[in-house]
Amino acid sequence: MNRLNVLDVMRVGPVIPVLVIEDLAQAVPLAKALVAGGVRVLEVTLRTPVALAAIRAMADEVPEAIVGVGTLTRPEDFTEARDAGACFGVSPGLTPALIAAARQSGLPLLPGVMTPSDVIAARQAGFEQLKLFPARQAGGMGMLQALAGPFPDVTFCPTGGITAETAPEFLALPNVGCVGGSWLTPKAALLAGDWGRITELAREANGLKAR
């Protein structure tokens, strides 16, 4: 898995679920439910105290999953996530310190951008696969269409405000490789341990087509 690059990860499926795991006991059943629905790429955000342990459990116990880490905002996050078993990283933005940490750790990174200047800086640092974040606030489809002209070599993963209903419209854009979304894991289903519901949502997401 560690030999995958970011473009490989983006091509696995149309949707990367953005996971906020509060209860470590949910990590493995959640990963299994998503994989059962055909969603193999999982982004576990560093927004809770159990995130790194959740990554480790998923990587160890659900080998079919391609487990990544999201919300990378500090240089030390990279090595910790890699050591926990993450095979790619996602950040909401990009700084020289994060660039250096990504290179030192060897963790493939999908960095977040919001403006044309962000895209230029990321591309100059060697990144051609970028996360538009927060996508809706950054201009959504209109922004992505505008960015396609000056940056034809960049592939985007818009994340933030994407829904099952709007995802196909984003996926239809030629510069969008996949989308990120949190709708695959509704809180009510997580609290109830309704893994069947999550598998159903994953199956629907995996079958999304551009329109």
DSSP E strand stretches across 83-122: 89-90, 109-110, 112-113
| Sequence-distant contacts of 96-105: CB under 8 A, at least 24 apart | 98/72, 98/73, 99/125, 100/75, 101/75, 101/76, 101/77, 102/78, 104/78, 104/79, 105/78, 105/79
Counted residue by residue, the chain has a size of 211
Which residues in 143-156 are b (16+ Cβ under 10 Å) and which e? bbeebeeebeebbb
- Out of 131, 165, 169, 200, the active site residue is 131
CA atoms within 13 A on the CB side of 126: 10
Q: Is 43 a catalytic residue?
A: yes
Q: How many CA atoms lie within 13 A of 156 on its CB side?
A: 32
Q: Tell me whether residue 165 is one of the annotated catalytic residues.
A: no
Side chain identity at residue 120, one-letter code: I
Choice among 22, 32, 43, 64 that is catalytic: 43
Catalytic residue numbers, as ranges: 43, 131
